[in-house]
C-alpha cells in the first residue's frame, strides 16, 4: 500500500509578504515534472525502463541508456519485515547491491537493492556481481512486476529555488516479483534533481 508523505508547510500561503520565499516559475515546473516522473515510476513494472524512456524524453544524454555505478558502502542487513516480504526460507541467502543509476553524466538516483540469488539464473547473478548493468535490465526475462510499499517526498515543493542536480527529490520503496508472483527483490530508491534535466 502506498503511503504518500505530504510536505508540511510552516506557514499558510500569503502569511509572508517576502516574494523571495514564494515558489517561482522554475519551482512550479520542477514540481510538475517530479509528479509526472513519480506517477510513471509508481505505475511502471520497471524503474529502469521508466528512467530510460524519461532520459530520452528529457534529452539527458545522446544515448539514453542507464548505467548502474556500484557504490562501495557497508552492507545493510535485511530487516525481519523485509525477510517476510521476500518470503525467505530459513537460511536462504540474500545479496545486497548499492548503485547510482546514471544517464550520461547525470546521476538520476541511488538505490539499495536486496535480492534472492536462488530465484535468479546463474547468468543474472553473474551480471549483477560483475557488471554495471541496471537491475531491471538484468531481470527483465523474469517478466517482473513492482509492488510499491511507499513513497516519501523529500524536496520541499514550497521552495523558492529549482532543485540542484544532486538534491534528493523523493524516495520509493518496492518489492519486485516474478511473472508468477514470487518475490525476489526489495529496492529503496532516492531520486535526484538531475532527473529534471535542463531548464
137-172, pLDDT tens digit by residue? Answer: 999 999 999 999 999 999 998 887 899 999 999 999
| Model confidence pTM above 0.75 | yes
Residue identified by cell 516522473 is 37
- What's the CATH code, domain 22-196? 3.40.1410.10
Residue 75: CB atoms within 10 Å: 12
Phi first, then psi, for residue 160 (nearest 5°) are -85, 0
Quote the CA–CA distance of 115 and 75 in Å, as a whole number. 13
22-41, pLDDT tens digit by residue? Answer: 556 678 889 999 999 999 99
Quote the CA–CA distance of 72 and 106 in Å, as a whole number. 19
Q: Where are the domains of the chain?
A: 22-196
Nearest by Cα to 5 from 155, 143, 165: 155
Sorted by sequence, the CB contacts under 8 Å of residue 10 that are 6+ apart come out as none
Amino acid at each position: 500500500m502506498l503511503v504518500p508523505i505530504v510536505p508540511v508547510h510552516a506557514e499558510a500561503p500569503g502569511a509572508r509578504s517576502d516574494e523571495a520565499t514564494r515558489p517561482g516559475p522554475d519551482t512550479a515546473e520542477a514540481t510538475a515534472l517530479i509528479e509526472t516522473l513519480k506517477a510513471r515510476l509508481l505505475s511502471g513494472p520497471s524503474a529502469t525502463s521508466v528512467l530510460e524512456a524519461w532520459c530520452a524524453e528529457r534529452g539527458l544524454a545522446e544515448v539514453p541508456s542507464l548505467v548502474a555505478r556500484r557504490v562501495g558502502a557497508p552492507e545493510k542487513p535485511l530487516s525481519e519485515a523485509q525477510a517476510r516480504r521476500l518470503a525467505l526460507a530459513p537460511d536462504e541467502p540474500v545479496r545486497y547491491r548499492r548503485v547510482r543509476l546514471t544517464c550520461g553524466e547525470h546521476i538520476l538516483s541511488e538505490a539499495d537493492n536486496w535480492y534472492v540469488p536462488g530465484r535468479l539464473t546463474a547468468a543474472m547473478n553473474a551480471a549483477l556481481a560483475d557488471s554495471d548493468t541496471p537491475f531491471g535490465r538484468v531481470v527483465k526475462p523474469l517478466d517482473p512486476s513492482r509492488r510499491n510499499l511507499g513513497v516519501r517526498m523529500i524536496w520541499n515543493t514550497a521552495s523558492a529555488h529549482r532543485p540542484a542536480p544532486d538534491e534528493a527529490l523523493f524516495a520509493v520503496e518496492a518489492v519486485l516479483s516474478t511473472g508468477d508472483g514470487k518475490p525476489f527483490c526489495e529496492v529503496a530508491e532516492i531520486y535526484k534533481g538531475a532527473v529534471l534535466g535542463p531548464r
